[in-house]
Amino acid sequence: MRNLLYIAVLSISLWSCGGGDDPAPTPVNTAPTVPSLTYPTNNLLCIDNVVNFQWNASTDAEGGVITYEIQVAKNTLFSPVSHTQTSTTTSKSITLEKGIAYYWRVKATDSKNASSNYSSTFNLYTEGVGITNHLPFSPVLVSPALNKVVKPADYSPITQLNVILEWTASDVDTSDTLTYDVYFGTETEKNNLPKVSLPNHSVKTYSTALSASTKYYWKVTVKDNYGGQTIGQVWSFTTD
C-alpha cells in the first residue's frame, strides 16, 4: 500500500513539472534590404537644383513598416552632411544650392529600429546660375580719320613719321572690363592683318612708327571679361 502511494505522488510531481507544451521562441527581427538608387543617375550633370531623389523599395522579412533616410553631402565622406531627410515612400524632393557637386545615399529602417547598410553613393552636379552677358559695341574710329593723309608734321618731329591710333568703345554691361586687340598692316596685308605685338590693351590708343608713301590698314577687336568680343571694321590712312 505504501508503495502504491509513493508511485501516485511521484506521477503527480512529474506531471506538474514537465507536462504541457513549451512556449514558442520569440522571432528574431532582421534588417530591411539595402535600397538601390534610381534617380538622379550617377554622374548626372547640370540638373535643376530642386531634385526629386528616387530609389527602389527595400523589403522586410517580418513585413514591418519601412522608413528611409536620405543623406546628401558635398563630399564622399558625408562629413558634414548637407541634408538629412526621412520618408516612408521611395522618393524625396530636396532643394540644393546651384552649381555644386553633391553626393547622396539612402538606408532603410524597420519599425523595430533595425537598419540596413547605406546604399551605394551617387553623385550629381546642379546647374549653375545663368549669366546674361551682352557683347561690347563695335569700336568707333577717333584718329586718324578714315582715308586721311598723314604727314610728319601732324604727329611727330619732321625726322620721324609715326602715328597714334585712337578709338572709343563701350558696353551696355557697364561693370564689364574691356580690353583691345589691335591689328595693323600695309596694303599687302589688308586681307589678313597681323595682330600687334602687345595684345589685350587696356587703353584705347596705340602708337606705331610708319613708312612714307604707304597705305595702312587697321582694326580693333573689343573683348569683355566674360569672353564676349566684337570685331571692328577695317580703317585705313595713307602717309605722305
Structural domains in the chain plus CATH codes:
36-126 (2.60.40.10), 140-239 (2.60.40.10)
Report if pTM > 0.75: no
Residue closest to 38 by CA, chosen among 90, 97, 95: 90
Using CA atoms, how far apart are residues 24 and 232, in angstroms rounded to an integer? 92
For the four alpha carbons of 229, 198, 169 and 202, in that order, the dihedral sign comes to positive
Burial (0-12, 13-18, 19+ Cβ within 10 Å), 161 = buried
Residue by residue, pLDDT tens for the chain (240 residues) are: 455 444 444 444 444 445 556 677 778 999 999 999 999 999 998 889 999 999 999 999 999 999 999 999 999 999 999 999 999 999 999 999 999 999 999 999 999 999 999 999 999 999 887 777 888 988 999 999 999 998 876 655 545 678 899 999 999 888 899 999 999 999 999 999 999 876 778 899 999 888 889 999 999 999 999 889 999 999 999 998
* SS3 state of residue 94: strand
For residue 17, give the H/E element and its range: helix 2-18
Q: Vertex 146, ends 143 and 152: CA angle to 5°?
A: 60
DSSP state of 18: H
User: How many residues in total does the chain contain?
Assistant: 240
Residue closest to 142 by CA, chosen among 204, 225, 232: 204
Q: Are 186 and 215 in contact (CB under 8 A)?
A: yes
Query: pLDDT value at position 160?
Result: 64
Query: pLDDT value at position 158?
Result: 47
For residue 226, give the C-alpha cell.
566674360
Q: Vertex 31, ends 25 and 32: CA angle to 5°?
A: 125
